[in-house]
Structure formats: C-alpha cells, structure tokens
Amino acid sequence: GRAPPPSPGAEWGPAAERPGSSLLTRQLQELWRKSRGNLAPQRLLFEVTSASVVSERSSKYVLYTIYLIRSGRFDKAPAAITRRYSDFERLNRRLRCRFGCDMAGIAFPRKRLRRNFTAETIAKRSRAFEQFLSHLHSIAEIRRSPEFLEFFFLQDLRVAQRLTCTGMYREALATWANAYRLQDRLGVCSSGRFLLTLAGLAVCHQELDELGEAHGCCEQALQLLETQGSHPLLGPFLQAHVHLAWKVGKDKRRSEARLQDLREAGPPLQQQPTLKECLIKEPLE
C-alpha cells in the first residue's frame, strides 16, 4: 500500500532527505519505517528546563518543567510535562509499593522542612528528579508499568478530553498533540490510550476544518487497528475515515470494505457512536 502521510511529530530518517539516490523517496520512507521497528530503543533523556515558584492562596510550591528528549535525535517539537514535588512523591510511593526490590537502590530527594524555595534547593532537586526518572526508565518492568507511564500523559489526556467536551478545540489540540509526543517518546504507540489520543487529534482537526490532518490521524489509527477484528474504536474510526477521505479526495474503498465486514459481523452500525461521542464517554481513570 501507499506510505501514509508522516504522523504529527514523526521524522523520516536521513534516507528520506536524499531524493537523488536510486531508490524512490516513498520506498525509502517505507524501508526506514520498517527498520525503525528493529532498532534498539532510543535512549530517553529527562531534562528539567525550568522551575518556577507558584504562590496560591494558602500554599506555595515549585513547578518543574521536564522535557523528554531522545538522544541522538533533534526533536522539532519537544514533549514536555510540568510537575510539582508532590506529583513525584506520589509516583515514588506507588512504585515502591509495587516494585519494592527494584526501587531499593533508587534515591528520591527528601522533603525539607524549610529552605524549600532557595535557588540551591531547587537546582539540587531538579538534578535529583532527572536522575530519578532516568533510573526508573532504565528498568524495563517499571518503564512499562501504568504507574510510570500515566505519570507522564494521563493528566494531559484528562485536560484534552475536558477541553474537547467544552468545544475549546484549538487548546485541546495542543494538549492532545503533547500527549501524542509523550507516548511516542515513551514507546507506547500501540496502547488504547494512544488510540484515544489519535481520536482526540482527529476530532479537533476536523472541528477546526483541518481535514487533511484529521484524515492522517484516522489513517494512522486504522493501521494500528489493522490486526484487530473488533475494537470499540474501529467502527467510529472507519466511519470518520470514509467521510474524510471523501472530503479530501483520497481513496476510501478499503475502509468501506472493512465497514461492510463489520456490518455483516455485528450489530447495526446506526447504533455505533461517532468518534467524538466515544471520546466524550471514555472514562479516564
């Protein structure tokens, strides 16, 4: 089949930038995409890029901004999170409950009774948080655990869902896109959360009349759902893909055939929710 358009934040490798070579660019892109799957995982670096003191009515805390950076790659759009000490503390507590042995050798910065807001304490903590996350990420079982993963992107998914439900599509889009990049960096692009993220991107792009981008998100989701006979999002993604393909003048026959198969296999599709309805109903625990 044809290579899909690059997904948001996707980079084609160096091969794609040499159209003068004997292979066609599209074939190179295909090869590059296949080879990416076989490469050893990229080393992920965690960098605290800024820390700011926030004063609320009765409390004062430091908000740390952390970038997730793949070593040896230039990321045009960084994946970023902002977290406070109590967020890290909760993650540390949850992981120690579940992975006691693995966590035994991992240091966590202690709570201080005073001088929490001096430049020196903030700088020390920033380094300690970078090392803490790197250490966690180096242990395969922890790296794949929901506790670790959801520390990074569950908050963004909740905010994006809320913004989408209230019709703030431009703001929602930026938040879905950051959640997409976070999951991409963490290497979890085949989970249910990732499909939900693609649904969010598709819905917001469509609402903002960016139909080509919405179509690209549906293509990517359908590639991930290729091997799944039944998934609650399959019907809604197929219906959205057919509609968008018709609007942007792309081939929709494959999706129509898959929709037909679904119709013959299961309950009537009239009762199927739209992508937007799925998004609104999905409980993000």
The pLDDT of residue 210: 97
CATH number, position 103:
3.30.1520.10
Tell me, what CATH number does 167's domain have? 1.25.40.10
139 and 160 housed in the same domain = no
The CA distance from 207 to 214, in Å, is 9
Other beta carbons within 10 angstroms of residue 217's beta carbon come to 30
pLDDT at 15 over 60: no
Top-confidence residue, 13 or 225: 225
Domain that holds residue 115: 42-144
Say if residue 187 is in the same domain as residue 83: no
**What was the pLDDT predicted at 41?**
52
Q: pLDDT at position 194, please?
A: 95
Model confidence at 21: pLDDT above 60: no
Name which of 172-181, 194-203, 216-225, 267-276 the model is least confident about.
267-276
For residues 273 and 201, give the distance between their C-alpha atoms in angstroms, rounded to a whole number: 17
- Asked whether residue 48 falls in the same domain as residue 112, the answer is yes
Asked whether the predicted pLDDT for residue 39 surpasses 60, the reply is: no
